Chain A
Amino acid sequence: MSVQKADVVIVGGGLMGSATAFFLRRRGQSVILLERDQIGQYASGVNFGNVRRQGRFLGQLALANRSWALWKRLPELIDDDLEFIPSGHMRVCYREDEIAELEAYAAAPEAEQLDLKIYRGAELHERFGFLGADVKGGSYAPHDGHANPRLAAPAFARAARRLGAQIEERTEVAEVEKVGGDFHVSTTDGRQFHAAQLLITAGAWGQKLSAQFGEPVPLDTHGPQMAVTEPVPYALPTVIGVYTKIAEEVIYFRQIPRGNIVIGGGFRSKPDMLNRRAAVEPRSILNQAEQMRRLLPGVGNLNIIRVWSGIEGYLPDSLPIMGPSGTVDGLFYAFGFCGHGFQLGPGVGDVMAELLDTGRTTTPIEAFSIRRFAFPAAQRSHAS
Chain B
Amino acid sequence: MATAQLSTHRVVIVGAGPAGVRCAETLLAAGIKPILVDENRRDGGQIYRRQPDGFTRDYSTLYGSEADKAKDLHQTFDRLRGAIDYRPDTLVWNLTPGQLCCANQGRHSTLDYDALILCTGATDRLMPIEGWQLAGTYSLGGAQIALKNQAVSIGHRVVFMGSGPLLYLVASQYVKAGATVAAVLDTSPFSLRLKALPKLLARPGLLWTGMKFLAQLYRAKVPAHFGVKPLEVLGDAANGVAGVRFTTGSGKAVTVQADAVALGYHLRPETQLGDLAGCAMAFDEASSQWWLATDEAGRTSVNGVYAAGDGAKIRGADAAEHAGRRVALAVLEDLKQPFNAGLRDEQQQALAVMDQFRLGLAEAFPWPGEQAKALPDSAIVCRCEMITAGELRRTVNEKGACEVNRAKAFSRVGMGRCQGRYCSQAGAEVIAAEAGVQVQEVGRQRGQAPVKPLSMLIEEVSP
Q: Point out residues on A near B: beta carbons under 8 Å.
A: 38, 45, 150-151, 154, 158, 229-230, 258, 279-282, 285-286, 289-290, 292-293, 299-308
Q: B94 contacts A289, CB within 8 Å?
A: no
Q: A158 contacts B449, CB within 8 Å?
A: no
CB<8 Å pairs between A and B, sample of 25: A38-B406, A150-B409, A150-B410, A154-B399, A230-B417, A282-B94, A282-B101, A282-B108, A282-B110, A282-B449, A286-B460, A289-B456, A290-B459, A301-B456, A302-B455, A302-B456, A303-B454, A303-B455, A303-B456, A304-B453, A304-B455, A305-B416, A305-B417, A306-B449, A308-B448
Q: B450 contacts A305, CB within 8 Å?
A: yes
Q: B450 contacts A293, CB within 8 Å?
A: no
Q: A158 contacts B399, CB within 8 Å?
A: yes
Nearest CB of chain A from residue B460's CB, rounded to whole Å: 5
Nearest CB of chain B from residue A39's CB, rounded to whole Å: 9
In the bound assembly, the distance between CA atoms of A265 and B448 in angstroms comes to: 18
Neighbour of B449 across the interface among A292, A302, A307, CB < 8 A: A307
Of all chain B residues, the one with the shortest Cβ separation from A150 is: B409
Of all chain B residues, the one with the shortest Cβ separation from A46 is: B409
Q: A280 contacts B419, CB within 8 Å?
A: no
* Cβ–Cβ < 8 Å partners of A290 in chain B: 459-460
Of all chain B residues, the one with the shortest Cβ separation from A283 is: B460
Interface size on B, residues (CB 8 A): 27
Q: A285 contacts B454, CB within 8 Å?
A: yes
Q: A229 contacts B410, CB within 8 Å?
A: no
Task: Tell me the total A-B contact number using a CB cutoff of 8 A.
Answer: 71
Q: B448 contacts A307, CB within 8 Å?
A: yes
Of all chain A residues, the one with the shortest Cβ separation from B398 is: A158
Nearest CB of chain A from residue B392's CB, rounded to whole Å: 15
In the bound assembly, the distance between CA atoms of A290 and B453 in angstroms comes to: 16
* Cβ–Cβ < 8 Å partners of B458 in chain A: 286, 289
What 0/1 pattern do residues 371 to 406 of B give for CB contact below 8 A with A?
000000000000001000000000000011001001
Q: A305 contacts B410, CB within 8 Å?
A: no
In the bound assembly, the distance between CA atoms of A212 and B417 in angstroms comes to: 46
In the bound assembly, the distance between CA atoms of A293 and B456 in angstroms comes to: 8
In the bound assembly, the distance between CA atoms of A212 and B458 in angstroms comes to: 48
Neighbour of A293 across the interface among B400, B410, B448, B457, CB < 8 A: B457
* Cβ–Cβ < 8 Å partners of A45 in chain B: 409
* Cβ–Cβ < 8 Å partners of A154 in chain B: 399, 410
Nearest CB of chain A from residue B419's CB, rounded to whole Å: 7
* Cβ–Cβ < 8 Å partners of A258 in chain B: 385
Task: For the complex of A and B, list the 3 residue pairs with the smallest distance between their C-beta atoms, beginning with the closest.
Answer: A303-B453, A150-B409, A282-B101
Does B353 sit at the interface, judged by CB under 8 A? no
Q: A306 contacts B419, CB within 8 Å?
A: yes
Neighbour of A292 across the interface among B101, B110, B406, B456, CB < 8 A: B456
Does B222 sit at the interface, judged by CB under 8 A? no
* Cβ–Cβ < 8 Å partners of A282 in chain B: 94, 96, 101, 108, 110, 449
- With A154-B399, A286-B458, A289-B458 known to touch, is A305 a contact of B409 (CB < 8 Å)? no
Does B67 sit at the interface, judged by CB under 8 A? no
- With A150-B409, A154-B399, A286-B108 known to touch, is A307 a contact of B450 (CB < 8 Å)? yes
Nearest CB of chain A from residue B71's CB, rounded to whole Å: 36
* Cβ–Cβ < 8 Å partners of B406 in chain A: 38
Does B415 sit at the interface, judged by CB under 8 A? yes
In the bound assembly, the distance between CA atoms of A320 and B457 in angstroms comes to: 37
Nearest CB of chain B from residue A311's CB, rounded to whole Å: 15
- With A38-B406, A150-B409, A280-B449 known to touch, is A304 a contact of B456 (CB < 8 Å)? yes
* Cβ–Cβ < 8 Å partners of B403 in chain A: 38
Of all chain A residues, the one with the shortest Cβ separation from B96 is: A282
In the bound assembly, the distance between CA atoms of A200 and B436 in angstroms comes to: 35
In the bound assembly, the distance between CA atoms of A150 and B108 in angstroms comes to: 31
Of all chain A residues, the one with the shortest Cβ separation from B457 is: A300
Most buried by B among A285, A293, A308: A285
In the bound assembly, the distance between CA atoms of A280 and B453 in angstroms comes to: 15
* Cβ–Cβ < 8 Å partners of A300 in chain B: 455-457
Q: A304 contacts B454, CB within 8 Å?
A: yes
In the bound assembly, the distance between CA atoms of A212 and B409 in angstroms comes to: 34
Q: A304 contacts B399, CB within 8 Å?
A: no
Interface residues of B in 397-429 (CB under 8 A from A): 399-400, 403, 406, 409-410, 415-417, 419
Q: A230 contacts B454, CB within 8 Å?
A: no
Q: B456 contacts A230, CB within 8 Å?
A: no
In the bound assembly, the distance between CA atoms of A308 and B419 in angstroms comes to: 13
What 0/1 pattern do residues 435 to 463 of B give for CB contact below 8 A with A?
00000000000001110011111111000
In the bound assembly, the distance between CA atoms of A231 and B96 in angstroms comes to: 28
Nearest CB of chain A from residue B237's CB, rounded to whole Å: 18
* Cβ–Cβ < 8 Å partners of A229 in chain B: 456
Of all chain B residues, the one with the shortest Cβ separation from A293 is: B456
Instruction: Given contacts A293-B456, A303-B456, A305-B417, list 11 more A-B pairs with CB under 8 A.
Output: A150-B409, A229-B456, A230-B453, A258-B385, A280-B449, A282-B110, A292-B456, A300-B457, A303-B455, A304-B456, A307-B449
* Cβ–Cβ < 8 Å partners of B454 in chain A: 285, 289, 303-304
Nearest CB of chain A from residue B133's CB, rounded to whole Å: 15
Of all chain B residues, the one with the shortest Cβ separation from A167 is: B400
Nearest CB of chain A from residue B226's CB, rounded to whole Å: 39
In the bound assembly, the distance between CA atoms of A302 and B456 in angstroms comes to: 6
Q: B399 contacts A299, CB within 8 Å?
A: no
In the bound assembly, the distance between CA atoms of A291 and B448 in angstroms comes to: 22
Q: A151 contacts B449, CB within 8 Å?
A: no
In the bound assembly, the distance between CA atoms of A65 and B252 in angstroms comes to: 64
Nearest CB of chain B from residue A170's CB, rounded to whole Å: 11
* Cβ–Cβ < 8 Å partners of B456 in chain A: 229, 289, 292-293, 299-304
* Cβ–Cβ < 8 Å partners of B460 in chain A: 286, 290
Nearest CB of chain B from residue A150's CB, rounded to whole Å: 4
Most buried by B among A151, A289, A306, A308: A306
Most buried by A among B385, B403, B416: B416
Nearest CB of chain B from residue A125's CB, rounded to whole Å: 21
* Cβ–Cβ < 8 Å partners of A286 in chain B: 108, 458, 460
In the bound assembly, the distance between CA atoms of A151 and B407 in angstroms comes to: 11
Q: A306 contacts B409, CB within 8 Å?
A: no
* Cβ–Cβ < 8 Å partners of B415 in chain A: 306
Neighbour of A304 across the interface among B385, B400, B416, B450, CB < 8 A: B450
In the bound assembly, the distance between CA atoms of A116 and B406 in angstroms comes to: 38
* Cβ–Cβ < 8 Å partners of A292 in chain B: 456
In the bound assembly, the distance between CA atoms of A281 and B99 in angstroms comes to: 12
Q: A151 contacts B453, CB within 8 Å?
A: no
Of all chain A residues, the one with the shortest Cβ separation from B385 is: A258
Nearest CB of chain B from residue A9's CB, rounded to whole Å: 21
